[in-house]
Amino acid sequence: MKKVALAGTESLTNYIDALKENDIEVIATLDVDEAIKCDGLLLPGGGDIDPVYYGEEMNGSDEPDRELDKAQRDILDAFVKAKKPILGICRGMQLINIYFGGSLHQDLATRDIHTRKNDNDSIHSVKSVEEGNLFEKFYGKTFNINSAHHQGAKKIGKGLKEVLRSEDGVCEAVIHEELPIIATQFHPERMSYKQRRDDAVVGEEIFKYFKSLLK
């Protein structure tokens, strides 16, 4: 059975359930040495990342968990250097983008489109901006996804390609040009299996693809 390191501290149940549905053993850890023994890495959603990592001062970001920032970045660095598969979700995508030299909008002007409403994810459409990318193959050129964030990628990191974009211009997914790295701003784990939605696509395809990358 393949093993995936889940580098997070709280609200991990949905990620664990989605991975287990694909017969993947989940190792929830922030220890680099333990994590790198796994076949892949999932960087989950969470709070805002310290903007010092992309050369900015606090300007709309919520107070960061700096210990978590460092721990996740160290694990990401180890997996990138080992060229092992990585799936980033929400904060995880932002962390990946920053790692490769990108930056963030600290508080989106159009945040009302993307933030949760009454403890429920928002729903909005996205479009493919890279012909034939894997998300387009799964879902077509335009489709609905869930949304629960107030920040977004601004400058896209080196080696990453923006492949999905919302109607208001926010990057919703990236893939790496050479490494086995995929990342979404949305939450496929909350659109998968027992949490499928009638108003958005099925997120399971993303987890199935991630499993196919594990060696």
Instruction: For residue 90, indicate whether it is catalytic.
Output: yes
Q: Which 3 state secondary structure label does DSSP give 52?
A: helix
For residues 21 and 201, what is the distance between their CA atoms, to the nearest angstrom? 18
Q: Which of 38, 124, 187, 204 is catalytic?
A: 187
Cα distances (angstroms) measured from residue 178 to each of 102, 158, 161: 17, 11, 10
Q: Which of 136, 172, 189, 204 is catalytic?
A: 189
Instruction: For residue 189, indicate whether it is catalytic.
Output: yes
Q: Which of 38, 90, 176, 204 is catalytic?
A: 90
**Which own/partner contact pairs does 199-203 have at CB distance under 8 Å and 24+ positions apart?**
199/123, 199/144, 200/123, 200/143, 200/144, 200/145, 200/146, 201/138, 201/139, 201/143, 201/144, 201/145, 203/18
Instruction: For residue 187, indicate whether it is catalytic.
Output: yes
Task: Give the active site residues.
Answer: 90, 187, 189
